[in-house]
Chains A and B, each alone.
Chain A
Protein backbone atom coordinates (compact mmCIF):
# COMPACT_ATOMS: atom_id res chain seq x y z
CA UNK A 1 0.00 0.00 0.00
CA UNK A 2 1.21 3.49 -0.79
CA UNK A 3 0.51 6.52 1.39
CA UNK A 4 2.07 9.83 2.44
CA UNK A 5 5.27 10.28 4.41
CA UNK A 6 4.76 12.07 7.71
CA UNK A 7 8.13 11.20 9.25
CA UNK A 8 10.83 9.20 7.44
CA UNK A 9 12.52 5.93 8.37
CA UNK A 10 12.26 2.19 7.74
CA UNK A 11 11.05 -0.36 10.26
CA UNK A 12 9.51 -3.81 10.50
CA UNK A 13 7.40 -5.12 13.36
CA UNK A 14 4.21 -6.55 14.76
CA UNK A 15 1.07 -4.49 14.21
CA UNK A 16 -1.24 -3.37 17.01
CA UNK A 17 -4.45 -1.99 15.52
CA UNK A 18 -7.15 0.27 16.93
CA UNK A 19 -10.29 1.03 14.93
CA UNK A 20 -10.95 3.94 17.30
CA UNK A 21 -8.98 7.23 17.28
CA UNK A 22 -6.18 7.41 19.83
CA UNK A 23 -5.25 10.29 22.14
CA UNK A 24 -1.72 10.10 23.53
CA UNK A 25 -2.16 12.53 26.43
CA UNK A 26 -4.22 10.71 29.04
CA UNK A 27 -4.32 7.81 26.60
CA UNK A 28 -0.87 6.26 26.94
CA UNK A 29 1.42 6.12 29.98
CA UNK A 30 4.59 8.00 29.04
CA UNK A 31 6.82 5.77 31.20
CA UNK A 32 5.45 2.34 30.25
CA UNK A 33 3.92 2.74 26.80
CA UNK A 34 0.73 1.08 28.01
CA UNK A 35 -2.67 2.38 26.84
CA UNK A 36 -4.54 3.72 29.87
CA UNK A 37 -7.70 5.29 28.41
CA UNK A 38 -10.68 3.61 30.08
CA UNK A 39 -12.79 1.66 27.59
CA UNK A 40 -10.36 2.14 24.70
CA UNK A 41 -10.03 -0.99 22.52
CA UNK A 42 -6.28 -1.07 23.28
CA UNK A 43 -6.63 -0.45 27.06
CA UNK A 44 -3.94 -2.34 29.00
CA UNK A 45 -1.88 -3.14 25.89
CA UNK A 46 1.68 -1.94 25.28
CA UNK A 47 2.65 -0.05 22.12
CA UNK A 48 6.40 -0.46 22.78
CA UNK A 49 8.32 -1.49 19.65
CA UNK A 50 5.04 -2.24 17.81
CA UNK A 51 3.76 -0.80 14.55
CA UNK A 52 0.89 1.23 15.99
CA UNK A 53 -2.07 1.52 13.61
CA UNK A 54 -5.06 3.82 14.24
CA UNK A 55 -7.34 5.98 12.08
CA UNK A 56 -6.50 9.42 13.52
CA UNK A 57 -5.44 11.21 16.68
CA UNK A 58 -7.83 12.84 19.14
CA UNK A 59 -7.89 14.91 22.29
CA UNK A 60 -5.22 17.00 23.93
CA UNK A 61 -2.55 18.95 22.07
CA UNK A 62 0.01 17.82 24.66
CA UNK A 63 0.00 14.50 22.78
CA UNK A 64 3.08 15.57 20.78
CA UNK A 65 5.14 15.70 24.01
CA UNK A 66 3.84 12.30 25.07
CA UNK A 67 5.04 10.77 21.76
CA UNK A 68 8.42 12.49 22.21
CA UNK A 69 8.61 11.28 25.84
CA UNK A 70 7.72 7.69 24.89
CA UNK A 71 10.69 7.70 22.55
CA UNK A 72 13.07 9.18 25.15
CA UNK A 73 11.87 6.58 27.66
CA UNK A 74 12.44 3.74 25.14
CA UNK A 75 8.80 2.65 25.15
CA UNK A 76 7.67 4.24 21.88
CA UNK A 77 6.07 2.38 19.01
CA UNK A 78 8.59 1.44 16.30
CA UNK A 79 6.37 3.03 13.67
CA UNK A 80 2.92 4.58 13.21
CA UNK A 81 0.39 4.06 10.42
CA UNK A 82 -2.75 6.23 10.17
CA UNK A 83 -5.68 6.81 7.91
CA UNK A 84 -5.20 10.53 8.52
CA UNK A 85 -2.37 11.91 10.66
CA UNK A 86 -3.24 15.24 12.23
CA UNK A 87 -0.76 17.92 13.32
CA UNK A 88 -0.43 16.77 16.92
CA UNK A 89 0.70 13.26 16.04
CA UNK A 90 2.77 14.59 13.11
CA UNK A 91 4.63 17.04 15.37
CA UNK A 92 5.31 14.28 17.88
CA UNK A 93 6.67 11.72 15.39
CA UNK A 94 8.82 14.32 13.58
CA UNK A 95 10.42 15.46 16.87
CA UNK A 96 10.83 11.90 18.13
CA UNK A 97 12.05 10.56 14.79
CA UNK A 98 9.44 7.77 14.65
CA UNK A 99 8.68 6.58 11.09
CA UNK A 100 5.08 7.44 10.20
CA UNK A 101 2.90 7.14 7.09
CA UNK A 102 -0.74 8.07 6.55
CA UNK A 103 -3.40 7.82 3.81
CA UNK A 104 -3.31 4.04 4.26
CA UNK A 105 -6.35 1.75 4.15
CA UNK A 106 -5.82 0.55 7.71
CA UNK A 107 -8.80 -1.85 7.55
CA UNK A 108 -6.47 -4.26 5.78
CA UNK A 109 -4.09 -4.50 8.75
CA UNK A 110 -4.87 -6.79 11.69
CA UNK A 111 -3.32 -6.91 15.16
CA UNK A 112 -0.48 -9.44 15.09
CA UNK A 113 0.32 -8.96 11.38
CA UNK A 114 4.00 -8.63 10.53
CA UNK A 115 4.23 -5.20 8.87
CA UNK A 116 7.05 -3.60 6.91
CA UNK A 117 6.82 0.19 7.07
CA UNK A 118 9.03 2.13 4.66
CA UNK A 119 8.23 5.71 5.52
CA UNK A 120 10.98 7.01 3.19
CA UNK A 121 8.93 5.77 0.24
CA UNK A 122 5.57 5.97 2.06
CA UNK A 123 4.83 2.27 1.60
CA UNK A 124 3.31 -0.35 3.89
CA UNK A 125 3.63 -4.08 3.26
CA UNK A 126 1.88 -6.87 5.19
CA UNK A 127 4.10 -9.93 5.22
Chain B
Protein backbone atom coordinates (compact mmCIF):
# COMPACT_ATOMS: atom_id res chain seq x y z
CA UNK B 1 0.00 0.00 0.00
CA UNK B 2 1.33 3.42 -0.99
CA UNK B 3 1.80 5.88 1.86
CA UNK B 4 2.84 9.52 1.46
CA UNK B 5 5.87 10.88 3.34
CA UNK B 6 3.52 12.58 5.79
CA UNK B 7 1.68 9.32 6.40
CA UNK B 8 4.95 7.45 6.94
CA UNK B 9 5.76 9.98 9.64
CA UNK B 10 2.49 9.31 11.46
CA UNK B 11 3.26 5.59 11.33
CA UNK B 12 6.73 6.24 12.75
CA UNK B 13 5.18 8.00 15.72
CA UNK B 14 6.18 11.56 14.88
CA UNK B 15 2.60 12.76 15.49
CA UNK B 16 2.31 11.03 18.85
CA UNK B 17 1.35 7.64 20.19
CA UNK B 18 -2.42 7.95 19.66
CA UNK B 19 -2.08 8.97 16.01
CA UNK B 20 0.40 6.16 15.46
CA UNK B 21 -1.96 3.59 16.99
CA UNK B 22 -4.98 4.88 15.05
CA UNK B 23 -3.14 5.15 11.76
CA UNK B 24 -1.68 1.66 12.22
CA UNK B 25 -5.23 0.33 12.47
CA UNK B 26 -6.16 2.02 9.16
CA UNK B 27 -3.01 0.73 7.44
CA UNK B 28 -3.65 -2.79 8.72
CA UNK B 29 -7.24 -2.67 7.39
CA UNK B 30 -5.95 -1.30 4.09
CA UNK B 31 -3.45 -4.14 3.78
CA UNK B 32 -6.04 -6.81 4.58
CA UNK B 33 -8.55 -5.52 2.06
CA UNK B 34 -6.08 -4.64 -0.69
CA UNK B 35 -6.25 -0.82 -0.61
CA UNK B 36 -3.77 0.92 -2.93
CA UNK B 37 -3.62 4.12 -0.84
CA UNK B 38 -5.34 6.31 1.74
CA UNK B 39 -8.04 8.72 0.57
CA UNK B 40 -9.25 11.86 2.36
CA UNK B 41 -12.68 11.70 3.95
CA UNK B 42 -14.96 14.71 4.44
CA UNK B 43 -17.36 13.36 7.01
CA UNK B 44 -17.32 10.77 9.79
CA UNK B 45 -20.03 9.13 11.87
CA UNK B 46 -18.78 7.42 15.03
CA UNK B 47 -20.71 4.53 16.60
CA UNK B 48 -20.10 3.08 20.04
CA UNK B 49 -21.39 5.95 22.17
CA UNK B 50 -23.82 4.42 24.64
CA UNK B 51 -22.31 3.23 27.89
CA UNK B 52 -24.59 0.25 27.58
CA UNK B 53 -22.86 -0.77 24.34
CA UNK B 54 -19.21 -0.14 25.14
CA UNK B 55 -19.17 -0.41 28.97
CA UNK B 56 -15.97 0.21 30.94
CA UNK B 57 -13.44 -1.13 28.40
CA UNK B 58 -14.77 1.17 25.65
CA UNK B 59 -15.07 4.16 28.00
CA UNK B 60 -11.45 3.79 29.12
CA UNK B 61 -10.32 3.38 25.51
CA UNK B 62 -11.97 6.71 24.58
CA UNK B 63 -10.80 8.57 27.69
CA UNK B 64 -7.25 7.46 26.99
CA UNK B 65 -7.38 8.94 23.47
CA UNK B 66 -8.97 12.18 24.70
CA UNK B 67 -6.47 12.60 27.53
CA UNK B 68 -3.60 12.53 25.05
CA UNK B 69 -5.00 15.54 23.22
CA UNK B 70 -5.95 13.88 19.92
CA UNK B 71 -8.36 15.98 17.80
CA UNK B 72 -10.54 15.05 14.83
CA UNK B 73 -9.69 16.55 11.43
CA UNK B 74 -13.12 16.46 9.77
CA UNK B 75 -16.80 16.99 10.60
CA UNK B 76 -17.58 14.14 12.98
CA UNK B 77 -20.96 13.25 14.46
CA UNK B 78 -21.91 10.71 17.09
CA UNK B 79 -24.35 7.84 17.34
CA UNK B 80 -27.13 7.82 19.97
CA UNK B 81 -26.11 7.79 23.61
CA UNK B 82 -27.70 5.59 26.24
CA UNK B 83 -30.01 8.34 27.49
CA UNK B 84 -31.56 11.72 26.72
CA UNK B 85 -28.59 13.95 27.57
CA UNK B 86 -30.79 16.71 28.97
CA UNK B 87 -34.01 15.11 30.23
CA UNK B 88 -32.53 11.83 31.54
CA UNK B 89 -33.55 12.41 35.12
CA UNK B 90 -37.16 13.26 34.24
CA UNK B 91 -37.44 10.20 32.00
CA UNK B 92 -36.20 7.91 34.76
CA UNK B 93 -32.76 6.95 33.53
CA UNK B 94 -30.60 5.50 36.36
CA UNK B 95 -28.15 7.96 37.94
CA UNK B 96 -25.01 5.82 37.93
CA UNK B 97 -25.62 5.01 34.27
CA UNK B 98 -25.96 8.73 33.51
CA UNK B 99 -22.69 9.53 35.22
CA UNK B 100 -20.79 7.05 33.06
CA UNK B 101 -22.59 8.21 29.91
CA UNK B 102 -21.60 11.82 30.57
CA UNK B 103 -17.96 10.75 30.95
CA UNK B 104 -18.09 9.25 27.45
CA UNK B 105 -19.65 12.41 25.98
CA UNK B 106 -16.96 14.50 27.62
CA UNK B 107 -14.19 12.36 26.08
CA UNK B 108 -15.72 12.79 22.60
CA UNK B 109 -16.13 16.53 23.07
CA UNK B 110 -12.48 16.89 24.04
CA UNK B 111 -11.58 15.22 20.73
CA UNK B 112 -13.49 17.96 18.88
CA UNK B 113 -16.38 15.70 17.91
CA UNK B 114 -19.82 17.32 17.60
CA UNK B 115 -21.71 15.75 20.50
CA UNK B 116 -24.93 15.27 18.57
CA UNK B 117 -25.86 11.66 19.41
CA UNK B 118 -28.04 10.60 16.49
CA UNK B 119 -28.15 7.64 14.11
CA UNK B 120 -29.54 9.93 11.38
CA UNK B 121 -26.69 12.46 11.01
CA UNK B 122 -27.95 13.19 7.50
CA UNK B 123 -31.12 14.72 9.04
CA UNK B 124 -29.15 16.80 11.52
CA UNK B 125 -26.41 18.57 9.60
CA UNK B 126 -23.86 15.94 8.61
CA UNK B 127 -24.88 15.47 4.99
CA UNK B 128 -22.34 14.19 2.46
CA UNK B 129 -22.76 14.72 -1.27
CA UNK B 130 -23.13 12.18 -4.07
CA UNK B 131 -19.84 10.27 -4.58
CA UNK B 132 -18.14 11.86 -1.59
CA UNK B 133 -15.78 9.58 0.33
CA UNK B 134 -16.76 9.32 3.97
CA UNK B 135 -16.05 6.96 6.89
CA UNK B 136 -19.24 6.14 8.71
CA UNK B 137 -20.16 3.59 11.30
CA UNK B 138 -23.79 3.02 12.38
CA UNK B 139 -25.10 0.34 10.06
CA UNK B 140 -28.36 2.13 9.18
CA UNK B 141 -26.63 5.45 8.42
CA UNK B 142 -24.04 3.68 6.25
CA UNK B 143 -26.83 2.10 4.28
CA UNK B 144 -28.61 5.45 3.86
CA UNK B 145 -25.44 7.34 2.86
CA UNK B 146 -24.36 4.73 0.33
CA UNK B 147 -27.76 3.93 -1.10
CA UNK B 148 -30.01 6.98 -0.89
CA UNK B 149 -27.34 9.71 -1.12
CA UNK B 150 -24.75 7.82 -3.18
CA UNK B 151 -21.84 8.81 -0.93
CA UNK B 152 -19.17 6.16 -0.43
CA UNK B 153 -18.34 4.39 2.81
CA UNK B 154 -17.45 0.93 3.97
CA UNK B 155 -19.12 -0.57 7.00
CA UNK B 156 -16.74 0.96 9.50
CA UNK B 157 -16.57 -0.34 13.04
CA UNK B 158 -16.82 2.31 15.78
CA UNK B 159 -13.03 2.47 16.37
CA UNK B 160 -12.07 2.44 12.68
CA UNK B 161 -14.41 5.39 12.02
CA UNK B 162 -12.84 7.22 14.97
CA UNK B 163 -9.40 6.48 13.52
CA UNK B 164 -10.52 7.95 10.18
CA UNK B 165 -11.78 11.08 11.96
CA UNK B 166 -8.51 11.59 13.83
CA UNK B 167 -6.35 10.91 10.73
CA UNK B 168 -8.68 12.49 8.13
CA UNK B 169 -8.26 9.53 5.78
CA UNK B 170 -9.55 6.02 5.15
CA UNK B 171 -8.05 3.14 3.14
CA UNK B 172 -9.28 3.04 -0.45
CA UNK B 173 -11.05 -0.31 -0.88
CA UNK B 174 -14.48 -1.89 -1.01
CA UNK B 175 -17.42 0.46 -1.42
CA UNK B 176 -15.11 3.40 -2.18
CA UNK B 177 -14.54 1.75 -5.59
CA UNK B 178 -17.20 1.89 -8.30
CA UNK B 179 -16.69 -1.73 -9.37
CA UNK B 180 -17.47 -2.89 -5.81
CA UNK B 181 -20.81 -1.06 -5.80
CA UNK B 182 -22.43 -3.31 -8.39
CA UNK B 183 -25.45 -5.38 -7.31
CA UNK B 184 -25.09 -9.13 -6.88
CA UNK B 185 -28.74 -10.10 -6.42
CA UNK B 186 -32.05 -8.86 -7.80
CA UNK B 187 -35.04 -8.57 -5.49
CA UNK B 188 -38.44 -8.46 -7.17
CA UNK B 189 -41.01 -6.94 -4.83
CA UNK B 190 -44.66 -7.61 -5.59
CA UNK B 191 -45.95 -6.90 -2.08
CA UNK B 192 -47.86 -3.70 -1.44
CA UNK B 193 -45.83 -1.54 0.96
CA UNK B 194 -47.54 1.27 2.82
CA UNK B 195 -46.15 1.80 6.33
CA UNK B 196 -42.52 2.17 7.42
CA UNK B 197 -42.99 -1.13 9.22
CA UNK B 198 -43.79 -2.78 5.85
CA UNK B 199 -40.42 -1.55 4.56
CA UNK B 200 -38.84 -2.80 7.79
CA UNK B 201 -40.38 -6.23 7.28
CA UNK B 202 -39.10 -6.28 3.69
CA UNK B 203 -35.63 -5.29 4.88
CA UNK B 204 -35.62 -7.89 7.64
CA UNK B 205 -36.61 -10.65 5.19
CA UNK B 206 -34.11 -9.63 2.48
CA UNK B 207 -31.20 -9.11 4.91
CA UNK B 208 -31.70 -12.63 6.27
CA UNK B 209 -31.69 -14.05 2.74
CA UNK B 210 -28.79 -12.19 1.16
CA UNK B 211 -26.51 -11.53 4.20
CA UNK B 212 -23.80 -9.13 2.92
CA UNK B 213 -24.69 -8.96 -0.79
CA UNK B 214 -25.74 -5.80 -2.67
CA UNK B 215 -29.39 -6.02 -3.75
CA UNK B 216 -31.06 -4.33 -6.71
CA UNK B 217 -34.75 -3.86 -5.97
CA UNK B 218 -37.44 -3.73 -8.59
CA UNK B 219 -41.17 -3.30 -8.04
CA UNK B 220 -40.96 -0.66 -5.31
CA UNK B 221 -43.05 2.01 -6.97
CA UNK B 222 -42.47 4.81 -4.52
CA UNK B 223 -40.82 5.37 -1.16
CA UNK B 224 -39.97 8.50 0.78
CA UNK B 225 -36.72 8.91 2.73
CA UNK B 226 -38.38 7.72 5.95
CA UNK B 227 -39.38 4.47 4.29
CA UNK B 228 -35.96 4.00 2.67
CA UNK B 229 -34.29 4.61 6.03
CA UNK B 230 -36.53 1.89 7.55
CA UNK B 231 -35.69 -0.52 4.72
CA UNK B 232 -31.93 -0.01 4.91
CA UNK B 233 -31.84 -0.16 8.72
CA UNK B 234 -33.62 -3.51 8.85
CA UNK B 235 -31.43 -5.01 6.09
CA UNK B 236 -28.28 -3.90 7.88
CA UNK B 237 -29.47 -5.44 11.15
CA UNK B 238 -30.69 -8.83 9.95
CA UNK B 239 -27.82 -9.05 7.45
CA UNK B 240 -24.78 -6.91 6.72
CA UNK B 241 -26.18 -4.99 3.75
CA UNK B 242 -24.26 -1.71 3.38
CA UNK B 243 -25.59 -0.66 -0.02
CA UNK B 244 -28.78 -1.28 -1.98
CA UNK B 245 -30.18 0.07 -5.21
CA UNK B 246 -33.85 0.67 -6.00
CA UNK B 247 -34.94 0.94 -9.60
CA UNK B 248 -36.12 4.46 -10.31
CA UNK B 249 -35.47 5.76 -6.79
CA UNK B 250 -31.82 5.67 -5.74
CA UNK B 251 -29.09 7.65 -7.53
CA UNK B 252 -26.84 4.80 -8.72
CA UNK B 253 -29.63 2.45 -9.80
CA UNK B 254 -29.54 3.56 -13.44
CA UNK B 255 -25.74 3.40 -13.57
CA UNK B 256 -24.94 -0.05 -12.18
CA UNK B 257 -24.65 -3.32 -14.11
CA UNK B 258 -27.74 -5.44 -13.46
CA UNK B 259 -27.64 -8.19 -16.11
CA UNK B 260 -27.69 -11.89 -15.22
CA UNK B 261 -28.34 -11.50 -11.53
CA UNK B 262 -29.79 -14.28 -9.41
CA UNK B 263 -33.31 -13.23 -8.43
CA UNK B 264 -35.39 -13.57 -5.30
CA UNK B 265 -39.04 -12.59 -5.05
CA UNK B 266 -40.85 -10.99 -2.15
CA UNK B 267 -44.65 -11.06 -2.09
CA UNK B 268 -47.32 -10.55 0.57
CA UNK B 269 -46.55 -14.02 1.96
CA UNK B 270 -42.90 -13.20 2.70
CA UNK B 271 -43.80 -9.86 4.29
CA UNK B 272 -46.34 -11.60 6.53
CA UNK B 273 -43.72 -14.19 7.41
CA UNK B 274 -41.32 -11.43 8.50
CA UNK B 275 -44.05 -9.80 10.66
CA UNK B 276 -44.76 -13.15 12.31
CA UNK B 277 -41.11 -13.85 12.96
CA UNK B 278 -40.49 -10.45 14.58
CA UNK B 279 -43.59 -10.60 16.80
CA UNK B 280 -42.67 -12.32 20.06
CA UNK B 281 -44.97 -10.46 22.47
CA UNK B 282 -48.68 -9.72 22.93
CA UNK B 283 -49.41 -6.37 24.60
CA UNK B 284 -46.73 -3.66 24.79
CA UNK B 285 -45.88 -1.94 28.12
CA UNK B 286 -44.40 0.87 26.05
CA UNK B 287 -44.36 1.81 22.38
CA UNK B 288 -41.10 3.27 21.10
CA UNK B 289 -40.94 4.83 17.64
CA UNK B 290 -37.99 6.47 15.91
CA UNK B 291 -35.55 3.70 15.02
CA UNK B 292 -33.63 5.00 13.17
CA UNK B 293 -34.22 8.46 14.68
CA UNK B 294 -37.49 10.01 13.58
CA UNK B 295 -37.64 12.73 10.96
CA UNK B 296 -39.76 15.81 11.53
CA UNK B 297 -42.35 14.29 9.20
CA UNK B 298 -42.63 11.21 11.42
CA UNK B 299 -42.99 13.33 14.55
CA UNK B 300 -45.68 15.51 13.01
CA UNK B 301 -47.54 12.33 12.02
CA UNK B 302 -47.48 11.09 15.62
CA UNK B 303 -48.59 14.50 16.91
CA UNK B 304 -51.54 14.37 14.51
CA UNK B 305 -52.54 10.95 15.82
CA UNK B 306 -52.27 12.00 19.47
CA UNK B 307 -53.88 15.42 19.27
CA UNK B 308 -56.57 15.66 21.96
CA UNK B 309 -56.13 11.99 22.97
CA UNK B 310 -55.03 10.44 26.26
CA UNK B 311 -52.57 7.52 26.33
CA UNK B 312 -53.05 4.70 28.85
CA UNK B 313 -49.49 3.47 28.40
CA UNK B 314 -46.39 5.40 27.29
CA UNK B 315 -45.40 6.16 23.72
CA UNK B 316 -41.89 7.47 23.05
CA UNK B 317 -40.56 8.77 19.79
CA UNK B 318 -36.76 8.99 19.57
CA UNK B 319 -35.00 11.62 17.51
CA UNK B 320 -32.00 13.91 17.31
CA UNK B 321 -31.74 17.05 19.45
CA UNK B 322 -31.93 19.22 16.29
CA UNK B 323 -35.20 17.72 15.11
CA UNK B 324 -36.62 17.95 18.63
CA UNK B 325 -35.89 21.69 18.69
CA UNK B 326 -38.01 22.24 15.59
CA UNK B 327 -40.72 19.91 16.86
CA UNK B 328 -40.82 22.03 19.98
CA UNK B 329 -41.20 25.23 17.98
CA UNK B 330 -44.03 23.66 15.98
CA UNK B 331 -45.88 22.64 19.16
CA UNK B 332 -45.59 18.90 18.43
CA UNK B 333 -43.80 18.28 21.73
CA UNK B 334 -46.65 19.86 23.65
CA UNK B 335 -49.33 17.84 21.84
CA UNK B 336 -47.43 14.59 22.41
CA UNK B 337 -46.67 15.42 26.05
CA UNK B 338 -50.32 16.39 26.75
CA UNK B 339 -51.40 12.97 25.50
CA UNK B 340 -48.90 11.38 27.85
CA UNK B 341 -46.16 10.58 25.32
CA UNK B 342 -42.57 11.78 25.10
CA UNK B 343 -40.16 12.96 22.46
CA UNK B 344 -36.84 11.50 23.56
CA UNK B 345 -33.67 12.96 22.07
CA UNK B 346 -30.07 11.73 21.85
CA UNK B 347 -30.91 8.08 22.51
CA UNK B 348 -33.03 5.15 21.39
CA UNK B 349 -34.66 2.00 22.70
CA UNK B 350 -31.86 -0.29 21.60
CA UNK B 351 -29.00 1.49 23.36
CA UNK B 352 -30.87 2.68 26.46
CA UNK B 353 -31.33 0.42 29.50
CA UNK B 354 -35.14 -0.01 29.11
CA UNK B 355 -35.02 -3.49 30.65
CA UNK B 356 -33.85 -1.85 33.91
CA UNK B 357 -36.72 0.65 33.76
CA UNK B 358 -39.41 -1.97 34.29
CA UNK B 359 -40.47 -2.59 30.68
CA UNK B 360 -40.92 -6.18 29.48
CA UNK B 361 -42.77 -5.86 26.18
CA UNK B 362 -42.01 -3.10 23.68
CA UNK B 363 -44.04 -2.16 20.65
CA UNK B 364 -42.02 -0.95 17.64
CA UNK B 365 -42.58 -0.16 13.97
CA UNK B 366 -38.91 -0.70 13.14
CA UNK B 367 -37.53 -3.93 11.68
CA UNK B 368 -34.13 -3.04 13.09
CA UNK B 369 -35.41 -2.48 16.64
CA UNK B 370 -37.56 -5.61 16.48
CA UNK B 371 -34.44 -7.53 15.47
CA UNK B 372 -32.29 -6.26 18.36
CA UNK B 373 -34.67 -5.78 21.32
CA UNK B 374 -35.12 -9.45 22.31
CA UNK B 375 -31.36 -10.10 22.58
CA UNK B 376 -30.09 -6.79 23.80
CA UNK B 377 -32.90 -5.46 25.98
CA UNK B 378 -34.53 -8.77 26.97
CA UNK B 379 -37.81 -7.47 25.53
CA UNK B 380 -40.75 -9.27 24.04
CA UNK B 381 -41.59 -7.40 20.85
CA UNK B 382 -44.80 -6.32 19.21
CA UNK B 383 -43.88 -5.34 15.66
CA UNK B 384 -46.67 -3.47 13.88
CA UNK B 385 -47.46 -0.32 11.94
CA UNK B 386 -47.72 3.03 13.70
CA UNK B 387 -51.53 3.19 13.48
CA UNK B 388 -52.07 -0.13 15.24
CA UNK B 389 -49.37 0.57 17.82
CA UNK B 390 -50.72 3.99 18.83
CA UNK B 391 -54.33 2.77 18.76
CA UNK B 392 -53.36 0.00 21.20
CA UNK B 393 -51.98 2.46 23.77
CA UNK B 394 -55.04 4.73 23.84
Residue A58 at the chain B interface, CB threshold 8 Å: yes
CA distance A91 to B211 in the complex (A): 20
**In angstroms, how far is the closest chain A Cβ from the Cβ of B171?**
10
Contact between A61 and B211, CB atoms less than 8 A apart: no
Q: Which of B202-217 contact A (CB under 8 A)?
A: 211-212
CB neighbours (8 Å) of B236 from chain A are 59
**In angstroms, how far is the closest chain A Cβ from the Cβ of B84?**
19
CB neighbours (8 Å) of B79 from chain A are 62
Residue in B closest to A64 when the chains form the complex, CB atoms: B157
Binary contact track B39-60/A, C-beta < 8 Å → 1, others 0: 0000000011000011111100
**Which of B181-189, B324-332, B369-377 is near enough to bind chain A?**
B369-377
Given the interface contacts A61-B155, A94-B28, does A72 sit within 8 Å of B211 by beta carbon? no
Contact between B212 and A86, CB atoms less than 8 A apart: yes
Interface residues on chain B, number (Cβ under 8 Å):
42
Contact between B375 and A62, CB atoms less than 8 A apart: no
CB neighbours (8 Å) of B239 from chain A are 21, 58
CA distance A92 to B161 in the complex (A): 12
Given the interface contacts A30-B55, A68-B58, A86-B240, does A61 sit within 8 Å of B350 by beta carbon? no
**Could you tell me the dominant secondary structure of chain B's interface residues?**
helix
Given the interface contacts A65-B58, A73-B57, A86-B212, does A26 sit within 8 Å of B375 by beta carbon? yes
Q: Which of A23, A27, A92 has the most CB of B within 10 A?
A: A23
Contact between A26 and B137, CB atoms less than 8 A apart: no
Contact between B157 and A59, CB atoms less than 8 A apart: no
Residue in contact with A88 in the complex, picked from B56, B61, B157, B237, CB distance below 8 Å: B157
Residues of A near any B CB (own CB < 8 A): 4-6, 21, 23, 25-27, 30-31, 36-38, 55-66, 68-69, 71-73, 84-92, 94-95
Q: List 18 A-B contacts (CB under 8 A).
A: A21-B211, A21-B240, A27-B375, A36-B375, A37-B375, A56-B240, A57-B240, A58-B240, A59-B236, A61-B158, A65-B53, A65-B61, A65-B159, A66-B53, A68-B61, A68-B159, A90-B29, A91-B157
